[in-house]
Amino acid sequence: MTFTFHLTRPTQTRLDADYLEDQGPLEDPSDYDYLAMRACTDLAQTDTAFHIGGFGTQDWGFDISYDMSSFVESLPELVEALHGRKEFELDLYPQGVERTLTFRFPSPDTVEIDCASRTSWVPNPPTETTSRTQLLALCHALQQDLAASLAAIGSDVAQLPPFSTWQPGGSPVEPS
């Protein structure tokens, strides 16, 4: 099994008014990590699903509100590293997940991903290889699905960058 991830968009069309009232206004609309956490908290109120797997396990059992937010927090940096073919370390820190993915580029369109676990789970194999083009396509699809999902449910963060630029028809950075 190759490392993969994707978001299944919600069927719900709006967040519950009581939930939105309880959330209150955005605290810091310029802090991307905060916005990523808020976005995932909003999506967790719906039937949105996030699937991530690889390294011998098809489904890592990520929840939306916390586990997925650790991935979304690093998504812009991952995309930038893929474009620049620069080694990148993604720390999936939530308790129970606790693994680090290191992305390396042995050739122009090849990405080698090492997975190091900080739990009793052992990645098997510990290294997977994929196409840089395919991994960028997964990232781009995740960006669009996140943005479209946030807009569909009426999340406060949907109209803020980078989510506003990730929406279909927005201006995401194209692969080089």
Q: pLDDT, tens digit, for every residue of 48-76? A: 999 999 999 999 999 999 999 999 999 99
Q: pLDDT, tens digit, for every residue of 16-51? A: 989 988 888 899 999 999 999 999 999 999 999 999
User: Residue 172: what pLDDT?
Assistant: 46
pTM as predicted: 0.93
Q: pLDDT, tens digit, for every residue of 81-96? A: 999 999 999 999 999 9
Q: Which of 31, 32, 15, 11 is nearest to 23 (CA)?
A: 15
On the 0-12 / 13-18 / 19+ scale of CB atoms within 10 A, 142 is: buried
- Neighbouring residues of 70: CB distance < 8 A, sequence distance ≥ 6: 91, 92, 93, 94, 97
Q: pLDDT, tens digit, for every residue of 119-169? A: 999 999 999 999 999 999 999 999 999 999 999 999 999 999 999 999 876
Number of CB atoms found within 10 A of residue 1's CB: 11
CB contact at 8 A, 120 and 130: no
